Chain A
Amino acid sequence: MRMRAITVIAAIALAGCAAGERPQPSVAPTAEASAPPIDRDPYPSTYRAPAAGQVALVGATVLTATGDEIANGTVLMDGGKIVAVGAGLTVPDGYARIDARGKWVTPGVIDAHSHLGVWSQPDSVEANNDVNEMTDPNTAQVWAEHSIWPQDPGFDTAREGGVTTMMVLPGSGNLFGGRTVTLKNVPSVTMQGMKFPGAPYGLKIACGENPKRVYGGRGRSPATRMGNVAGYRKAWIDAQDYARRWDKWEKGGRVGDAPKRDLQLETLAGVLKGEILVQNHCYRADEMANMIDIAHEFGFRIRTFHHANEAYKIAPLLVKEDICVATWTNWWGYKMEVFDALEENAALVDAAGGCAIIHSDDPVLIQHLNQEAAAALSSAWRAGIRITKADAIRWFTANPAKALGIADKVGTLEAGKNADVVLWSADPFSIYARAEKVWIDGGIVFDRGDPAYRRHSDFLLGQPGETR
C-alpha cells in the first residue's frame, strides 16, 4: 500500500512537470471548504524523448525559420537541444557527423490543423470517426485527446513527410467543438505518450456554414449565421458567470460549498483567463471581423483563424489583432464560404506583416505541407510579392509553433530550442524533396534509408500492404 502511495505521488509530481506553463492548483481542502482539489492536468503527458546523442549535420543549406538561409551550414544537436547553427562551424569531438552537402535542413514541420487519430485511417470506416460530437452546438466539454487512436497509420505517413508536431482538433460541426490537443509525432501506444509536454490547450470554435447546416437541418438553433453569433454570446455570458462564481468563492476564503464544476464552462472560463487558446474555424472576412468583436465584447483573444480563406481581405486587421491565419493554397470552391479563396492568401497575410500558416486538415496533405507552401510561394512571386524561402519556411514551422503556444520550445533552429529537425534530400520548396531523416528532441524518428523506421502502426501489421 505504501509503495503504491509513493508511486501516485511521483506520478503527480511528473504531471506537474508536464503541465509546464499551466498553473497547478494549490487548492487544499480546509476545515471550512468542501471542494475536492481540481486536477488541471488529469491526463498528463508521459512522453519520453527518444534517445538523443550528439549529432552534427554538416554542409547543408539551412533554413532556420528565423529569417536566415545559411549556405554550407552546420547544425549541432546535443541532449535533445539545438546547441549551435551556423556556417562552417567546427564540429566538436564526439559528435556523430552526417554529411548533408547538397541537402537542406529545416525545423520539424508543424501542422496547426490535423484530425489524425480522431478521424483515423481507414477513414471510410464509421467506427474510426471520432472527430465531431455533433449532439449539441456547444460541446466545449469534450477533449480531442479522448478520441485519439495512436495507431492511426496517418501518424506514420505524416512523419515521413517531416511532421514532428501537430495540433489535433475536434471537427467544425458545432459552434464550440471542444478542446484541441498538441501531439509530438512519435510512435506510441497511448495518447499520453504523444502529448506535447507543456503545450497549452486550444478551444475549437467554428463559424459559418457547418454549424448552421448541422443544427438548422435538425430544426434547431443555430440555423443562420446570426444564430451562430447568438450561440457564441450565450455561451460566453454563461462562462463569465461561472468564472465569477468561482472567483467569488476563491476570494471569499473558500468558505462554504464550492460551485459545482462544469466541464463545458470550465473550458470556456479557461479561455477567458487566457490559459486556453482560441482556435477558430472561420472562412469569410466578415465573419472573422464579427468574431473579433465578440472576443472584445467578452475580453478574450483569438489566437488563430483556421482555413480563413478571406484573410487577405482583412489582413491589416488581423495583423493589428495579432491573430495567426492557418490556411491552404489550393483548396477552394467546395462550398460557398470558400468561393473567394486564393492561392496567394498566406503570402498576402505575410506581406501585410502577419502570421501566415499553411495547414493540412487532411491525412494526405499533411505529408506535403512543404509543397503546399511552395505553391503559395510561387503564387506570391507571380503576383510580384517578394517573399524568400527563408521567410516562407515559417509558414509550416515557426508560425504554427506560435499559433499553438509552443514557440518557446520548437519551430526554429536556434540554440536552446528542442532539436526537432528535418534533413531534406533537396530544397524543401521543390516538388522532388523528400524528408530523409527526422529528429524529435534530438532522437531520430525517421530514416528513409532504414526500413525499421517505416510503418509502425499495429493496424497495418500483417495487412496486404508494404509491411508484408
Chain B
Amino acid sequence: MIRAATAALLACVFTLPAAAETVAITGGRVVTMGQSGEIERGTVVVRDGRIVAVGAHVAVPPDAKIIDATGKTVTPGLVASGTALGLIEVRTVETTDDRGTSARDLSAAFDAGYGLNPDSLLIPVARLGGITRAIATPAYDDKAGRELLFAGQAAAIALDGAPMLMRRGVAMVLEMGDAGAERAGGARAAELVALRAIFAEVRDFKARRAAYDRGETRTYTLSRADLEALVPVVEGRMPLLVSVNRASDIRDVLALARSERLKLILEGASEGWRVASDIAAAGVPVLVTPVENTPASFEALGATLSNARRLGEAGVTVAIQGNGNHREREMRYNAGNAVANGLDWQAGLAAITINPARIFGLSDRIGSLDPGKDGDVVVWDGDPLDTLARPVAVLIRGAEQPMHSRATELRDRYLPTVLSPANGEKP
C-alpha cells in the first residue's frame, strides 16, 4: 500500500517538468543542425535550461541525470510554424477559438501573443510529435463588412506547459492571392493598391505621430493601433508573412516587398517551384506543406510533391509546416514526404528545426544543439522523419517533459477492456 503510494508519488514527481537540473543525453547519434554537425556517438549536456556541451568526448557531470540514448537519434526540438497552438481547443466551439478577431480597428494590431493557453490539450499531443516550439499564427475571422487586410501578429511560443510566450510580434500575417483579393473587394489589383496606400499611410503616421495625436493629419483608413503595429513592418524589422500560391502572385508580392523595402516570408507557395529562382534571388524564405499537391484552387494548379525539393535546389530557405493545430504532429511526416520526393534528409530535418528558427529570428535561442541555446532536445527511437519512429524523451528549456497526453490516458483507460492476454501475445 505504502509502496504503491510512493510509486504513484514518484511517477507524479517525474512527470512534472523540473527546470533547474543537469541532464546528460549520452551515446546517441546526435544530429545537431548546428556547428557540430552530426556526431555518431555523442553526448548533449543541458544545465539550468541551457545546452552547455555537445560532442563525442564530452565529460558527463557527476550530478547529471543520464538519459541513455544508445542506438537512438538525438535532434533539436522541432519548431512548428503556421500553427494556432495555444489559441484553439475545438474549432466548432467558438469560445475556445482565439485565433482571430472581427473587431473594428483591430487588424494588424491583433497580437497572438496575448491570451495563450498553456493548458491546451493540443500542446502535449504536439509535444509527443517532437514539437517543442511553435509560431502561434493569427487567422482571419471574416465577417460581412469587416474583411480585414491583415490577420495580425504571430508570436513564438514554448510548449512546456509553463507561460508559453517566447517572443511577441515575430511576423505580420497577410493573405494574398484568392483570399486576399476577396477581402480587398474582389480583385488582386485592389489588394495590391490598398497595401501600397496603407504602407504610405504608415510611413506618414510614423513621421507625424504628434500631429496625428493633435488631430492635425489627414484621416487614415486604419486605426492608431493598426498603424502603430505596421511601423516595424515598413521599417523592415518585422517580417511580413504572406500566404500566397500562384506563381504570378508570388512575383507580385516579391515586387511589392522590393519597392516597399519589406522583409518577407512566403507561406504556401504551391507554385513556388515555378518561380524558385526569383524567390531565391530575393533571399525570401518559404514555409511549405509538401503533401499539399492537389490543385485545390485555380491559384494552386501547379501544386506538386516536388515543390520543397525544387525550392531547396534553387537555394531557397525552406521550412516545412504541419497539417494544422490538432494535426501539427504530422509535420515531421511532411518533412519525410519531402525527402521521399527528393529533398535531402538533412534539409528535411533543417526545414523543421533550424530553418523555421532562423526565419522567425529565433535561432539565437533554438533550432540547433549548440552550447548556449535553450535545452530543447528530442530523443527518437528511430528516424525522426519516419512514422514508425517516436520520441522517447523530450526536453524543453532543459526540463524533461511528460510523455503522455489526454489521448494516451484515454488509451490506457480502455486498453484493458480490449487487450486480453491472448491479444497482447499476437505474433
Segment from A92-100, A132-140, A260-268, A325-333 that makes contact with B: A325-333
Q: Is the CB of A122 within 8 A of B387?
A: no
Q: Is the CB of A363 within 8 A of B294?
A: yes
Q: How far is the CA of A433 from the CA of B333 in the complex (A)?
A: 12
Nearest-CB residue, chain B, relative to A344: B411
B423 close to chain A: CB less than 8 A = yes
Segment from B34-42, B57-65, B85-93, B214-222 that makes contact with A: B85-93
Q: Is the CB of B90 within 8 A of A157?
A: no
Q: Is the CB of A364 within 8 A of B386?
A: no
A307 close to chain B: CB less than 8 A = no
Q: Is the CB of A348 within 8 A of B415?
A: yes
B326 close to chain A: CB less than 8 A = yes
**Contacts A123-B296, A315-B417 hold; do A353 and B423 have CB atoms under 8 A apart?**
yes
Contact string, A349-387, partner B, CB cutoff 8 A, digits 1/0? 101110000000001100110010011011100111111
Contacts of A316 on B, CB cut-off 8 Å?
417-418
Q: How far is the CA of A331 from the CA of B330 in the complex (A)?
A: 10
Contacts of B292 on A, CB cut-off 8 Å?
364
Contacts of A343 on B, CB cut-off 8 Å?
407
Q: How far is the CA of A379 from the CA of B424 in the complex (A)?
A: 14
Q: Is the CB of B247 within 8 A of A153?
A: no
Contacts of A121 on B, CB cut-off 8 Å?
294-296
Q: How far is the CA of A342 from the CA of B323 in the complex (A)?
A: 17
Contacts of B326 on A, CB cut-off 8 Å?
331-334
Q: Is the CB of B423 within 8 A of A371?
A: no
Q: How far is the CA of A122 from the CA of B247 in the complex (A)?
A: 17
Q: How far is the CB of A125 from chain B (nearest CB, A)?
A: 7
Contacts of A378 on B, CB cut-off 8 Å?
387-390
Contact of A312 among B122, B408, B418 (CB under 8 A): B418
Q: How far is the CA of A466 from the CA of B293 in the complex (A)?
A: 11
Q: Is the CB of B274 within 8 A of A464?
A: yes
**Contacts A332-B326, A432-B336 hold; do A386 and B426 have CB atoms under 8 A apart?**
yes
Interface residue range, chain A:
35 or more
Q: Is the CB of B90 within 8 A of A335?
A: yes
Q: How far is the CB of A30 from chain B (nearest CB, A)?
A: 54
Contacts of B388 on A, CB cut-off 8 Å?
374, 377-378, 429-431
B357 close to chain A: CB less than 8 A = no
A341 close to chain B: CB less than 8 A = yes
Report the number of A-B residue pairs with Cβ-Cβ less than 8 Å. 163
**Contacts A378-B389, A432-B340 hold; do A330 and B296 have CB atoms under 8 A apart?**
no
Q: State the interface size on chain B (CB cutoff 8 A).
A: 58
Q: Is the CB of A465 within 8 A of B423?
A: no
B99 close to chain A: CB less than 8 A = no
Q: Is the CB of A429 within 8 A of B387?
A: yes
Q: Is the CB of B294 within 8 A of A375?
A: no
Nearest-CB residue, chain A, relative to B424: A386
A407 close to chain B: CB less than 8 A = no
Interface centre among A335, A343, A429, A431 (most CB of B within 10 A): A431
Interface centre among B292, B341, B390 (most CB of A within 10 A): B390
Contacts of B427 on A, CB cut-off 8 Å?
386, 388
Contacts of B339 on A, CB cut-off 8 Å?
431-432
Q: How far is the CA of A460 from the CA of B300 in the complex (A)?
A: 11
Contacts of B291 on A, CB cut-off 8 Å?
364, 367-368
Q: How far is the CA of A170 from the CA of B349 in the complex (A)?
A: 39
B267 close to chain A: CB less than 8 A = no
Nearest-CB residue, chain B, relative to A340: B410
Q: How far is the CA of A312 from the CA of B425 in the complex (A)?
A: 19
Contacts of A433 on B, CB cut-off 8 Å?
340
Q: Is the CB of B300 within 8 A of A122?
A: yes
B400 close to chain A: CB less than 8 A = no
Q: How far is the CB of B63 from chain A (nearest CB, A)?
A: 31
Q: How far is the CB of B272 from chain A (nearest CB, A)?
A: 13
Q: How far is the CA of A121 from the CA of B295 in the complex (A)?
A: 6
B347 close to chain A: CB less than 8 A = no
Q: How far is the CA of A343 from the CA of B274 in the complex (A)?
A: 37
Contacts of A391 on B, CB cut-off 8 Å?
426
Contacts of B362 on A, CB cut-off 8 Å?
none
Q: Is the CB of A386 within 8 A of B425?
A: yes
Contacts of A368 on B, CB cut-off 8 Å?
291, 337
Q: How far is the CA of A313 from the CA of B418 in the complex (A)?
A: 8
**Contacts A335-B92, A430-B388 hold; do A375 and B333 have CB atoms under 8 A apart?**
yes
Contact of A464 among B247, B408, B426 (CB under 8 A): B247
Q: Is the CB of B418 within 8 A of A465?
A: no
Interfacial residues, chain A to chain B (CB-CB below 8 A): 121-125, 153-154, 157, 209, 312-313, 315-316, 330-336, 339-344, 348-349, 351-353, 363-364, 367-368, 371, 374-375, 377-379, 382-388, 391, 429-434, 459-460, 463-466
User: 10 tightest CB-CB pairs across the interface, nearest first?
Assistant: A431-B336, A374-B387, A333-B326, A465-B302, A124-B297, A335-B92, A375-B387, A351-B423, A386-B426, A432-B340
Other CB < 8 Å A-B pairs besides A121-B295, A153-B294, A342-B410, 8 of them?
A122-B301, A125-B297, A336-B93, A339-B90, A352-B423, A382-B390, A431-B386, A465-B303
Task: List, sorted by A's number, 20 A–B pairs whose CB atoms are closer than 8 Å.
Answer: A122-B296, A124-B297, A125-B297, A157-B293, A209-B92, A313-B417, A316-B417, A331-B327, A333-B91, A334-B92, A341-B407, A348-B411, A349-B418, A352-B419, A352-B423, A383-B415, A433-B340, A459-B295, A463-B301, A464-B274
